[in-house]
Structure formats: C-alpha cells, structure tokens
Amino acid sequence: MSTHVAVDLGASSGRVMVGTAAPGRLELTEVHRFWNGGVEVAGRLHWDAVGLWRQVLAGLGRAARTPGGAAARTVGVDTWAVDYGLLTREGALLGTPRHYRDSRTEGVAERVFERVPAQRLYERNGLQHLPFTTIYQLVAEAEESLLGSAAQLLLVPDLLGYWLSGHRGAEATNASTTGLADVRTGRWAPDLVELAGIDPALLPPVHEPGTVLGGLRSEVLAETGLPGSVRLVAVGSHDTASAVVAVPARDERFAYVACGTWGLVGVELEQPVLSAESFTANFTNERGVDGRIRYLRNVMGLWVLQQCLAEWASTEGEQDLPALLAAAAHVPAGGPVVDIDDARFLPPGPMVGRVQAAAEEAGHRAPTAKAEVVRCVVESLAQAFARAVADAVRLSGHEVDAVHLVGGGARNALLCELTAAACGLPVVAGPVEATALGNVLVQARAHGDLTGSLEDLRALVRDTHETTTYAPRGTRVGSGAL
C-alpha cells in the first residue's frame, strides 16, 4: 500500500492531505490547512497565486514528514474551475491570476451573444450561462495589455502542476469548464478559441485524469523532502470532478450535491444533454473522471452564509456557526426564502442587507435576527438544491433514489434535513473530504494500488467512511449509505 498526497484548493480554503489506498482500506490524514480567497488590489480582485504556492510547498513538506510520507509515490492537484494564469515563453507568470468574482466580466457575455447566439454556443460547449466562464474572462482580458505578452495559458491546477513538475498541459475536467472545449470530445474547439479572440497556441494539449505527468522539479524535492521517485498524477483537477469520484453511491440512481462555497447539483451521465429545454434550464455538461458527464447546475452554495458570517464578525468578532445553526433550526418553518442564485449575491462584501432586500422584494418580511437570516439562507439553499435535482432528473431522464451531499455542507445538519424535506428523497451526508478522497483514489488507481471502475472506487469509499442519512421528513436515520 502506497502513500499519495492530495493538494486540494477550494475557493475559500486549501488543504494538503496524505492518503493511503488499497483494497478494503482508504485513509486520509490532513497535514496542512490554510485560508484562500480573493485579494483586492487597486479595485481589481486577484488570487494570491504565489502565496498559495508557498502554502502548497509547506503542505508537501509536512506531508513528507508524516508516517509514510517520505516514501510518497504520487501527488495530485485539484482546485476550483475557470481561472487561469498567463505565462511568458520562458514560463514566467505574467501578473497574478484574476478572481472569477472580479467585475471585469460584467456585460461581456451579452457582447459575445451578439456574435454567437447563446443557444448555439451551448450546443458547442454545453455549459450553463455563468458570467465568469473562462471564455468571457478572455474576451475581457483582450481589452487589457497582458494577453499580448502571453505565450501560454494554464488553468490554476495546471499552473500549480507546472510549478511542481515543469509539465505544461490542461486536464480534461477543468478544461471542460472554460467554454473553449467541444462538449462532445472534451478537446479544444477551434471556433470557440477564435470566438475568445486568443491565439490557439496559448492552450496546451488536453490530458485525461489518471495520466502520469512526470517527476517533480529538483528544487521542489529539495524544499519539501519528498522522494525523487514521486510522480505528479493528473486527477480530476476540477474539485467537483474529484468530489463526484468519492460519492459513496451503491448504483447509478443517485444525484449529488457537492457543497462548499458553491453547490454543484446534478447527476452523472454517459452523454451530454444539449436540448433546448436543458439550455433554458441553465444546466451544464462538464466532464468527469473516466469520460463521464457531470450534468449539473451551479448553485450559489454556502458563499452567502460565509459572507453573512464575515459581516457579523467584522463588527462583533468571530461567530459561533454551530450555535447559529442550532438557533436557526428553532426558527418556525414557513419563513422568508430568496432566490439564492440572484446575481446580487455573487460579489463579495456585506451580505445581510442583500438577503433582507431580496426577501422583501419576494413579498416576505425581511429577516432581522441572526438566526432568522441564517434560516432564510439555508432554507433558500435547500430549496435551490431540490429544484436543481428535480430539473436534472426531468431533463436527463435519469431517475434517482437518493441525494448524496458531500463536502463541507455535509456537516450542516440543518441544511441536510431541509434538503431532504425539499427533495422528498433521503439525503446521504458525507464524506466531508470527498474531493481529497477522489483525488487520492485517482492517484492510487494510476499507480496500480487500486483497479476497477468508478463504481469500484465508490464502493471502497462506502465501505471505509461513515455517512449520515436524513429522511425526507427531516429526521436523521443514522449512519450508513443507502
């Protein structure tokens, strides 16, 4: 049984995990966790890519010092989607990657749709309309001077992989989120690249999850203490793709909610759904591990709650989230709900007033007490999850018997209970660290520690990790997946 290191960066936090996997055994140990988020500079929102790199190196160093870490076989990197770094011909980073929540893409999609109708674009790339998709970021980028100096574009996980190993490529699950890839093949589409107004040479070749990309740079080995034999493996580098690998479902009749800063809600299919109804419902077709299609809708997720907590913390100090959720659970049902996907909730900053205004505009009394605001946000999120599940089933014809809620949201019992009630289906909560587990599973299979299909990998998760099932009536059933 070998050791594998998962670098897992979400939009609000990052972690480095050490995992071991073998038939009948799957273990994960967190060795480093750190904050992540946007950094505003002169009115523009960026990612602190160099700071993240330092944290990744620190985490890999700690991984090397854990039991078995000095003999680690592989490393894999997953992050959020759509954002990228630009490199010179010599491989130097130009500027710092812009954050998808930056305002530069406002109105850009509408300008693109004047050239190519939105539904025709959907038929080519299969993606729901999100104003910050990479293709729109690049149109905005072309109006600035940096793009003209670039020789290569690397999505964030591929950028970190390049700094680790020197390999420049594009992993398929993240490439599928850019709007530049053909939904049927998963490879770059020349007409979409032309639409973005970029040189095709900027985009590196696409590779599949499970590809062994090579050894690590000598300076990385020296700084971290990892062995020279360690190899970088492409995992599902879009964090949702890795999370779906670790959904502990017993068969294909499941929906998933990968819930963290965002909530990704959908089903797993063999082929994309590109109907006019799917376009109208704003569903996306992203690639998963082993060529599967993650047919889903992006829901705003826990971002709104996170921003409310940050707003309260700025004036009152750190908030006790478990206590707030417990208080929210006692707020009577039937209170205000809002459209959690309203564009007003996308930018960072004070959020409570936005929630209150949305409630009033929907004809409700605005929530005032903290517990009422939390209940409104969580109830609204659960209802959005339920709508997305119902739409995914209706549009794809893929029936489901249970909803698997993985990621940080699995800790939120109120969210799980309300989601089960709204869906009318049992919600199986956990594992919390599904993304890191999926990352490790793909590494372990690439190395030969595991064999088999996605279903075999999911069976291993199911057999080794506890979950909690919430019945549709809102009661907790107990441990174990359905």
Residues with a known catalytic role:
239
* CA 75, chain centre distance (Å): 19
Query: Could you tell me the two tokens for 292?
Result: 């599967």
Task: Give residue for tokens 């289906």.
Answer: 425
Tell me the C-alpha distance between 419 and 470, whole Å. 9
* CA 469, chain centre distance (Å): 23
Tell me the C-alpha distance between 325 and 329, whole Å. 6
* Helix (H) / strand (E) containing 28: strand 25-35
Preceding omega of 157 cis (within 30 degrees of 0): no
Helical H runs in 397-433? 413-423
HSE, CB side, 13 Å, CA atoms: give it for residue 127.
27
Query: Could you tell me the two tokens for 293?
Result: 């299609």
Task: Give residue for tokens 């104003």.
Answer: 131
Angle formed at CA 438 by CA 134 and CA 434, multiple of 5 degrees: 90
Task: State the DSSP code for 258.
Answer: E
Tell me the C-alpha distance between 444 and 164, whole Å. 19
Exposed / middle / buried, residue 117 (Cβ in 10 Å: 0-12, 13-18, 19+): exposed
Following DSSP, what letter does each residue of 148-189 receive, concatenated?
GG-SEEEEHHHHHHHHHHS---EEHHHHTTSS-B-TTT-SB-
CB-based contact 458:404 (threshold 8 Å): no
Hey, which residues does 17 pair with through a beta bridge? 6, 30
Radius of gyration of the chain (CA): 21
Tell me the C-alpha distance between 76 and 74, whole Å. 7
End-to-end CA distance of the chain: 29
Query: Could you tell me the two tokens for 397?
Result: 């014809």
Query: Could you tell me the two tokens for 220?
Result: 């990385």
**349: region left, alpha or beta (phi > 0 left; psi from -120 to 50 alpha):** left
Helix 134-141 crosses helix 108-115 at what angle (to 10 degrees)?
A: 100
